[in-house]
Amino acid sequence: MSRKRTFASRELVQNHLPNCFALKNLDYGSEDITIMGDGLAFISTGLKFPGMPSSDATGKIFSLDMTDPRMKPVELRMPRNFDLESFNPHGISVYIDPSDYAIYLFVVNHPQHKSQVELFQYVEDDHSLVHLKTIKHELLRSVNDILAVGVDSFYATNDRYFTNAFLKSWLEPLLSQPWTNVVYYSPEEVKVVSEGYYFANGINISPDKRHIYVADLFDHNVHVLERKEDNTLVSVKAVAVNSLCDNVEVDAESGDLWLGCHPNAWKAIMFDPKDPPGSEVIQIQNIHSDQPVVTRVYEDDGHVIIGSSVAATYGGKLLIGTVFHKALCCDLN
């Protein structure tokens, strides 16, 4: 892994927001967060990612009602027929069925560091998840994030080309080639729809569903892609973010992109508790215009929050999640 690509020499700074506090119950990461239109957030925790610190805690999914002033995450009850011991949740995405408003939660899972997608239905009455199916496919080889576009269809990013542990952890970062991709999955067809990324990471969709956004961690940019009728993606442009951005969330009203980023990823890879990696939240406004506005909304040198991976907003509040540390809630105003 080159020091240049990971911004190894970048000095970390503090640029805080008012009234930040750590969310309860989320001590083992909050790698991905997604918030629905009514303020209900889903949070994945307990990710064990190769090369990153992690705990022995099993993976869990939490919900958080952003309209409740107590702001307390609730652990979702998992079904008995599901292997919780090996549950290793990564990217998540929600799909609401327009015909009956059923809520489907798609979760990238890495049992024994393999890659598969778990499809759940959320039951609001008792804060539980019903497991519907596990999806595996040879093209879903190293899935990082997922974007649900139907009750059983989605886009997924692969962040590595190799599946062999040694090759993907050591050789691939050393070669640093744009070999990763985006895959479209449906029961009818599975295909690569976009490629040429150094490390395809977060993926999301515009409010009008016409464009898809993909963060390339090691190329320090966000790709804007147009979605075609046959679900293929055509590149429109890439917007430089000057950071290693992880997950992408989209504000449903403004269309702004919110990114949880690693300002100095070298520190995350070489983890030293005395010199921790920092955190950074980036907002992109007017991404489809000739001059998108890229703003650093929050920065920390690792003394408050370590290794931010996602940022999501609702009702003037900002949630910041991390790969293996705590989660923060701050006021944006």
Binding-site residues from annotation: 31-32, 92, 144-145, 201, 246-247
Tokens of 231: 């679900």
Is 90 labeled as catalytic in the residue annotation?
yes
Beta-bridged to residue 181, according to DSSP, are: 158, 195
Q: Which of 16, 90, 211, 262 is catalytic?
A: 90
Q: Are 301 and 278 in contact (CB under 8 A)?
A: yes
The candidate with the shortest Cα–Cα distance to 46, out of 321, 329, 244, is 321
Binding-site residues from annotation for Ca(2+): 31-32, 92, 144-145, 201, 246-247
CA dihedral angle for residue 109, residue 31, residue 84, residue 127, rounded to 10 degrees: -110
Which residues are tagged catalytic? 90
